[in-house]
Amino acid sequence: MTNPFEGRQGTVVPGFVDLQVNGGFGHDFTSKPATIWDVGAILPRYGVTGFLPTVISAPVESALAALAVLAGGPPSGWTGALPLGLHVEGPMISPQRIGTHPADALVEPSLELVDCLVAAGPPKMVTLAPELPGAEEVVRRLCAAGVVVAMGHTDATAAQAESSFGWGISHATHLFNAMSGLDHRAPGAPAAVLGHNVLTSGLIADGLHVAPAMLRVAHRALGPERIALVTDAMAATGLGEGQYVIGSVPVTVSGVEARNGGGRLAGSTATMDQVVRTMIEATGCSLEEAVTMASSTPAAVIGHEPHLGDLVLLDNDLAVAATAIGGTIAYRRAQT
C-alpha cells in the first residue's frame, strides 16, 4: 500500500475507534438518528476512523430508528468515519445511577425489548445494569445474538458484577462513572472490573469524568489491552458554550463542561485526539500505549478488523494533521 501521507512530516498511527459517541457538532443521535452520517463525516479531523453511534435511555423507537439509519447506509458520495454498529446505552439501567439519562425512560430488563432490538439489528453493544431483576436472561439472549453486553449505569456490588460476567457480560461502560463505589469494605462494580483477568472497559479520559489518580489506577490494573478510551461525545463537541440536549435532557455547556439541570456531567465535549493526549499526560503512558487504547483495543472489543489503510498522522504536539480511511485521505489539515 502506498503511503497516503507522503510528503508530510509526523507520526503515523492506526485510526482511532470510539465506542461511545452520543452525537457532536450540534447533532444528537437519540433525538435525531439521521445525523449519524453528518457526525461521521466530521470525525476524521480528530483521528476517528470508526465509531459506535450511541443512543441513551429512550423509548425503543429511538434505537430502532438509529438501527434503520445504519441499515440504510450512507448518503451518496458520503465519506467519513465508519459507523460500526449501534451502542444502545440503557434504558435497562439502575435508577440509582442514571447519570444524565431521563428517569422516566428507564425500564427493567425485558426479553420483549431485546427481541425487538435483535430483530431490527441487532445492535453492536448494549449497556445495562446486571443487578436488575431479569438481567441474566436478557444478557444471555443478547450474547446469543452476537451483541457485546456491557455493564454500566449500575449500582451492583462487586459480587453481583462478578456473577454477571459468567452470563456473558464482557465489557464495562465508562469505568467509575455512574457506577457503585470503590469502597474498601463494600467494593462495587469497579472493583470487579479492576480485579478481573479479561474484562475490558471504556474510560472517559477527558480530564473531567475521571481524576488523574484514577486514570493511573485503571492503567496499571488493566493495561492498554483492556482499556478502550472513549469520548462520550455529545452534541456540543466541536462547538462552544451554550444550550444543547442529550436525548431528551437539556444540557448547559460552560467552558468544557457539559452538565444537566441537576449539575451532573452530561456526556463530554472532548474529541478522541484530546483524550489520547490527556491519558498520556495523566498516566505517563507511552504514545504507543495510548494509541492502543484508542484503536486496536476498542476494535477488538467489538470484533472489528480495521482496514490497513485506516491511519492517522499526528504532528509533534500529537494533534491530528491528516486521517486516511481505507487508504484514502478523509481529512487533511491545511499546511501553514
d(CA 277, CA 282): 9
d(CA 143, CA 278): 33
Write down the domain spans for the chain. Answer: 11-329
d(CA 334, CA 75): 26
Given the residues 28, 155, 206, 232, the one annotated as active site = 232
The pLDDT assigned to 261 comes to 87
The pLDDT assigned to 111 comes to 98
Take residue 55 and report the three cell numbers written for it.
Answer: 443512543
232 is catalytic: yes
Say how many C-beta atoms besides its own lie within 10 A of residue 102's C-beta: 18
The pLDDT assigned to 1 comes to 62
The set of residues, in sequence order, having a beta carbon less than 8 Å from that of 76 and lying 6+ positions away, is none
Q: Cβ distance 266 to 235 under 8 Å?
A: no
| Phi-psi label, residue 303: left if phi above 0, alpha if psi -120 to 50, beta otherwise | left
d(CA 79, CA 37): 9
Q: Cβ distance 88 to 126 under 8 Å?
A: yes
Take residue 103 and report the three cell numbers written for it.
Answer: 428517569
The pLDDT assigned to 8 comes to 85
How confident is the prediction along the chain (336 residues), in pLDDT tens digits per residue?
668 988 788 999 999 999 999 999 999 999 999 999 999 999 999 999 999 999 999 999 999 999 999 999 999 999 999 999 999 999 999 999 999 999 999 999 999 999 999 999 999 999 999 999 999 999 999 999 999 999 999 999 999 999 999 999 999 999 999 999 999 999 999 999 999 999 999 999 999 999 999 999 999 999 999 999 999 999 999 998 999 999 889 999 998 888 998 888 888 999 999 999 999 999 999 999 999 999 999 999 999 999 999 999 999 999 999 999 999 999 999 875
Instruction: Return phi, psi of residue 15, to 5°.
Output: -60, 145
Instruction: Let me know if 184 is exposed, middle or buried by CB neighbors in 10 A (0-12, 13-18, 19+).
Output: exposed
**Runs of H (alpha helix) within the chain:** 36-42, 60-72, 111-120, 135-144, 158-165, 189-194, 212-222, 272-283, 287-294, 296-301
Going by CATH, does the domain composed of 11-329 fall within 3.20.20.140? yes
d(CA 196, CA 3): 40
